[in-house]
Each structure stands twice: as structure tokens, then as C-alpha cells.
Structure 1
Amino acid sequence: MADKGGINKEVLKILEVAQGKSQDELLFTYKGVLFPSSTCSNETFEAMESFEAREDDVMLTAYPKCGSNWAVHLLKDMIHATYNKTPPGVIPLLEFGAPNKFEKLKEESSPRLIATHLNYDLIPKSCFKKKTKMLVVFRNPKDTAVSLFHFYNNNPMLPNYSSFDNFFPDFLSGKVMYGSYFDHAVEWNKYIDESRVLLLTFEQMKADLEVSIKKIAEFFGFPLTEEQVKNIANGASFKSMKEKSGETHGKFGPVIFRKGDVGDWKQYFSEDQNQQIDAKFEECLAGTKLGELLQYNIHCK
């Protein structure tokens, strides 16, 4: 059971930090990439370089608004079902919080749930040396753009955009937090066939959550029963997570859980924007395994 009071205190503390900042101060640049200054810092990034991964860490990586909160929810339930262990933290993002967090992580019993939005080249090197298994989640770029636009405008920790038309050029060029969606995708496509990587899409999870849970469980070695798979799937529907978001994420719940739809982009994209992102997809991902997995012609046309 989540510690509702602890979650609310944690969220309120972060929101207080954000409220004292101007729009320009809400983001900062580290190694050429924008990050939210209320949750990330240069000091934490520097401390993270000495983070000691474990072979049995359960790791999730996803570009923002591609389904990371959903996947974290699933992984927490799987770990609890398998080990009777409840991983701590609201969103266990490696890059969030104070530099001393890595000392605390050393003390946590295995398996630890580790999550990140970082691109491949910023993930701590120990994760690769230890061959830590990574679940990588992607979502079609058009729905990701719309979801990230709303996240910016509903989140006091991020600058606001007056319209989707103003947001779109920044998304396309990667001038948003965590950088370019397409840079992330191109990089992860290089590792799609590695045995330590399982790449799933938001759309696959929406189409058949039980099948996705079984794939994740097999990948991490969680011996789940059919009944456990069904129970985890029932508790992880978008409707269920949204209803419980006040308990699981405090005041931040409504910011994180908006619609969870596939195809919402059709309400926002102009013909010109469609053509621009179609061209970008063609340039970066056409003919790749990740491009095929994203089923662009089905979800983005």
C-alpha cells in the first residue's frame, strides 16, 4: 500500500520549489539536453555517474509520456506478486531527487526497481557493465507529442505553451525536456535485438495488456500464474490507475493520468504538422525494427 501522506509531502515539496522559479528557470541544460530543474540537478547527474547497478535490478527506460508510469505500476505489482516486496518511491526515476539518493539505493534490497527517461548515452555505465535487463517502452510520436504538450501545460514544474502550434516546433527539433524523441528512438533501435533489452510499445500494451504482462514477466524471470497476470492487468487499466491516482501520486495524479488514448493526435495536428513529422519519421526510423514495431502507418496516418 502506498504511503499517501509521504507521497503528498514529497510532491508538495517539489511543487513548492517550482513555484519559486520563473518560466525560464524551470528547465536547465545538462550535456546539451533540457531537464526540469525542480526534480533534476547537475549535482545529481554527477553523483549518478558512480551509481552501482546490479545484474538483478529491474530497469525501465522510456521517453516522457510514452507509458512509463503505466509500466512502473505493472513492474511494482509484478515485483510484489513475486517477492512480496513493495518498491519505494512515487516514480523511481534515477535522475530525480538529491545526490545522496544513490547512497540510499545501495542499502535497498534486491530486486530494485530503477526507472529513467534518460537517453541511452546518459544512462549510468554500470547498467551496461552489469548487463542489467531493461524494459524499453515507446509510443507513436504523434500521441507522445500531444501528451507531452498537455503535460507541460498541466504541470507547474514546466513552462507553459499558449498552443499546440507553438509547442510542435520545439518537440520536432528536440527543444523539450529530455531532448528529441527521435534521437531516443534512433539510439534504442541499435540495441533492439540484444537479449538484455525488451522493447514494447504503448500501443501493444493497450491492445493486449495480459500478453504484454506475460512478455515482461518472462523477460525478468517473474514466475507469475495466470490468475496473477489477470489481477495485475485488471488493476492496471487506465481507468483504474486514474481513479487511484490521488492515492498513488497525490496532487500530481491528474497531471500524469490524462487520457491514455491511441489516436488523440488527430484532434491537434494540422496537415502541415502531419507532413513534417511523417518526413522526420521517414528520415529517422523508416525500414528499422523499431519503426516497424511502432506500426506508424496504422497509428499515425
Structure 2
Amino acid sequence: MAEDKKAFIDEINKVLAKSEGLTLKDLLFSYQGTPYPAVACSVETFQALDNLEARRDDIVLVSYPKCGVNWLIQILSDLIFTTSQSKPVSMELPFIECGDPDKYERMKQIPSPRILATHLNYDCLPKSIFKNKAKILVLFRNPKDTAASFFHFHNNAPSVPSYSSWDEFFSEFMNGKVGWGSYFDHAVTWSKHIEDENTMVIMYEDLKENLTASVKQIAEFFGFSPTAEQIQSIADRATFQAVKDKAQETHGIVGSTLFRKGVVGDWKNLFTEAQNQEMDAKFKACLEGTKLGAKLKYDVYCKA
């Protein structure tokens, strides 16, 4: 297992090494109108993505960047290990759109259940996920904290090019000119599928508020049957602080940046009144009146 962990950290380090010396302009490339980081994704990998053969028991985890999916991967890995005593293999980058085009061939060797994570919109997922009825867990976080966390990641991750200011980042974020494109486009796409069969949407803020209840809900959705004691011990090991404490061991040099603060409301340290109004208007235009909009509890988490 230590070999798996080392191989996974090596993959992360390769991505960071490719970022060395790049400017923000060099970092992103466009594929079908959406910007992606050139150090982790490529046109060739996207073209090969439909070769991914999903299995019915694959665990598909979806989120926009910086909404907590790395935390979710830790929770699911522990859930699999606790209930089946088999440890998920982590030699590949867990994000299906990241890596080289041959990874889909190698992934055939990974034993079930596999964790397939992604930041992609619904329409960009490999068709086999839907054809084979794999279950999809979609994680959302309020857009203001997402933006704040994304900014800090860019400006704190080793080798990753930084923004000159929060104002510069905010403008690019609102215009969808950051890696994986617009938060709001992502949200609107997934909002249409919130009630699809085999799909469940959960909130980052709910994980923070009641991790034990969230672990139970996730386990039931994926068909795991842990005991109440096991659910509690998974939740105890998966508190944000516990995951952060082990982040260097699990994710190497980038661990402390991936698991930075994990608090709700950190956006208040960055947003100006004008930026608040701009995002409030965008939320209203894109998500007000939708089921996803209601789940996001915007008035609770995004009003100063």
C-alpha cells in the first residue's frame, strides 16, 4: 500500500514540476470552449476519455474545483476499507480527466470498487458511466467560499502560478477563465440532473455541520452497510482537521494547500461590497428558484 501512496504522490509532483516557471496565461488551454490546466490535462486525454469503461460499482465523485472532493475521496476510501478491508488503489491521479491518454487502459487493472473523481460538467462525462448506471455523488460548496479557496490554492500551491491580487482572480473566476471554467456553468449543468436516478447531491457545508450523518447518507447511497460504530469512527478519522493533519502523508508537498482551512465563511476576508453584489446577481440569474439553489442555502452562507 505504501507503494501505491508513493506512486500517487509522484504523479502529483510531476504535475507541480510541469507548473514551474509557467505564467497564468501558459497554464490554461481551451478544450471545447472550457479552460483546463495544461499541466494536468491534455487534448489527447480528453479525446481518449470516452475509452474509459465505467463499471456499475464504480464510485463517481463530482465537484467543481475547491469544493471539497479531495476530502470526499478520503471519506470514501475509508468507507471502502472499513466495510471490505480492501484499500482503493491510488496509483493514478484520481481525476479521470487528468493524466496521460493511456491511463484508461491501466485503469482496467484496478480492482472494484474504483473511485472515479472529476471536476467535469455532466455533458463531458464518459457515456459508459450512464450506460452502466454507476452511482454519481455530486458535491457542492457555496460559490463565495469556493472562489476564496480557489484563489488561496493558486497563490499557495508550490510551483503553481499566482494571481497578482484577489481582484484579478475574482474577475477571472466570474468570467469562467479559471481551470475547469465557470462555477455557475458547472452548477447549472448539474442542477438539471439533481433528481436523476443514481445521482445524489450533497453540500460541503452539511459535511462540516454533521459529518456522522453525512457519512451514513453517503454509505447508504453507495450500498455500503457499516455499523453505527464504524460510521462514527470513519467520521472521527475524517474531520477536516484529522485529514489536514495527515495531508502531507497522503498528498505530499501540496497536501497543506489542498486542505488549507476548510472553514465556512472565509470569503468574508476577501470580498468587497461590489464583489458581493456581483456574485449575488450571478447566483440569482443562474440558480435562484432551482432545487440546487435551495440546497446551497445562499442566504445562510453567502450574505454578509
What TM-score range do you get, normalising by the shorter chain? over 0.9
Q: Show the counterpart of 1:101.
A: 103
Q: Show the counterpart of 1:85.
A: 86
Q: Show the counterpart of 2:190.
A: 188
Contact 1:24 1:159 in 2 (8 A): no
Distance 1:5 1:203 in 2: 31
Q: Show the counterpart of 1:120.
A: 122
Q: Show the counterpart of 1:143.
A: 145
Q: Show the counterpart of 2:286.
A: 284
- Superposition deviation, residue 177 in structure 1: 0.6
Secondary structure of the structure 2 residue equivalent to 1:29: strand
> Please, what is the CA RMSD of the aligned residues?
1.5
TM-score by length of 1: 0.96
Distance 1:193 1:11 in 2: 34
Q: Show the counterpart of 1:55.
A: 56
Is 1:36 equivalent to 2:37 in the alignment?
A: yes
- Superposition deviation, residue 259 in structure 1: 0.4
Larger deviation, residues 222-231 vs 150-159:
150-159
Mapping of 1:64-83 within 5 angstroms? 64-83=65-84
Distance 2:138 2:153 in 1: 21
Mapping of 1:168-247 within 5 angstroms? 168-247=170-249
Is 1:10 equivalent to 2:26 in the alignment?
A: no
Distance 1:59 1:7 in 2: 19
Give the count of matched residue pairs.
301
Mapping of 1:237-276 within 5 angstroms? 237-276=239-278
Distance 2:252 2:263 in 1: 22
Q: For the structure 1 residues 22 and 268, does the alpha-carbon distance in structure 2 shift closer, same or farther, using more than 3 Å as the test?
A: closer
Gaps of 5+ in 1: none
Distance 1:273 1:15 in 2: 31
Q: For the structure 1 residues 64 and 218, does the alpha-carbon distance in structure 2 shift closer, same or farther, using more than 3 Å as the test?
A: same
Secondary structure of the structure 2 residue equivalent to 1:232: helix
Larger deviation, residues 78-87 vs 248-257:
78-87
Secondary structure of the structure 2 residue equivalent to 1:118: coil
Q: Report the residue type matching 2:251 in the other structure.
A: H
Q: Report the residue type matching 1:46 in the other structure.
A: Q
Contact 1:36 1:157 in 2 (8 A): no
Secondary structure of the structure 2 residue equivalent to 1:35: strand
Distance 2:14 2:285 in 1: 42
Secondary structure of the structure 2 residue equivalent to 1:49: helix
Q: Report the residue type matching 2:193 in the other structure.
A: Y
TM-score by length of 2: 0.95
Q: Percent identity?
A: 51
Q: For the structure 1 residues 148 and 16, does the alpha-carbon distance in structure 2 shift closer, same or farther, using more than 3 Å as the test?
A: same
Q: Report the residue type matching 1:201 in the other structure.
A: M
- Superposition deviation, residue 74 in structure 1: 0.6
Q: Show the counterpart of 1:293.
A: 295
Mapping of 1:17-28 within 5 angstroms? 17-19=18-20, 21-28=22-29
Distance 1:24 1:191 in 2: 33
Distance 2:24 2:158 in 1: 10
Alignment deviations for residues 20-71 of structure 1 (CA, whole Å, 9 cap, x no partner) = 5444322111111111111111111111122111111111000000010111
Gaps of 5+ in 2: none
Alignment deviations for residues 75-123 of structure 1 (CA, whole Å, 9 cap, x no partner) = 1111111222211227511011111110111122211111101111111
Secondary structure of the structure 2 residue equivalent to 1:290: helix
